[in-house]
Amino acid sequence: MSTAALITILVATTVVLVGVAVAVRLVGRGAAPGGRGLRRRFGPEYDTAVARHDGDDKAAEKELHERWRRHKDVRICPLPAAVREQYAARWTGVQEEFVDAPARAVADADLLLGTIAHERGFPTGSWDELIDALSVHHPRTVHGIREVHAASARVRVERVPTEELREALVGARDLFEDLVRAHPEDQPPQRHARRTGPRPEKPVTRTAGPRHAHDGVPDR
């Protein structure tokens, strides 16, 4: 075997071994996204995590990776169309309530979002656990529930400007729409009749001779 052929074989073997090692590592990690993948997956939530860690990208990515690992397999529960319509009506009621009682409307919006999230299958434990799970599946709108929850807590202890309450309620609407819109899980299962083969056509029998009145055509 020539030296060139031997080198080619060695290079090919090395590439294969490196590929196998990377695949094994990904499987062991649950095929979790890396830094750039985390930024794409979490969007603005990535920047929020970095800010919370005072600009430390590595610490933020570690936190986001752990969130993804814990909550990526949340099973989204179906909501029948009638139930989604009821929630939509309740949200409309919250918006109307805001005109006369903005503080109470924000508190009701906070409660309603938590109720829908729990019914969709998100964790019913601590508040932080709920937010972490929502951030994995709704990273671009989860900030809405944070804002309305914070506003709801503030109105219990201090007077909050109406404009701030309005902004919190408007910000929460996007997450509400994400939760109540039709998901694939909301579609009823299709029932198909079992067939062992093509359905045979019914043979048509034609008879010679004149047609009779019961055939639908009068005799001549």
Tell me the whole-structure pTM to 2 decimals.
Answer: 0.69
Poorest-pLDDT segment among 7-16, 54-63, 65-74, 126-135? 7-16
The answer to whether the beta carbons of residues 102 and 166 sit under 8 Å apart is yes
pLDDT digits (tens, 9 = 90+) for 135-165: 999 999 999 999 999 999 999 999 999 999 9
User: Which residue type, as a one-letter code, is found at position 153?
Assistant: A
Distance CA 66, CA 30 (A): 11
- Write out pLDDT tens, residues 157-208: 999 999 999 999 999 999 999 999 988 878 766 554 454 455 544 444 443 4
Backbone angle region of 31, left / alpha / beta, with phi > 0 → left and psi within -120 to 50 → alpha:
left
Mean pLDDT calculated for residue range 48-72? 94
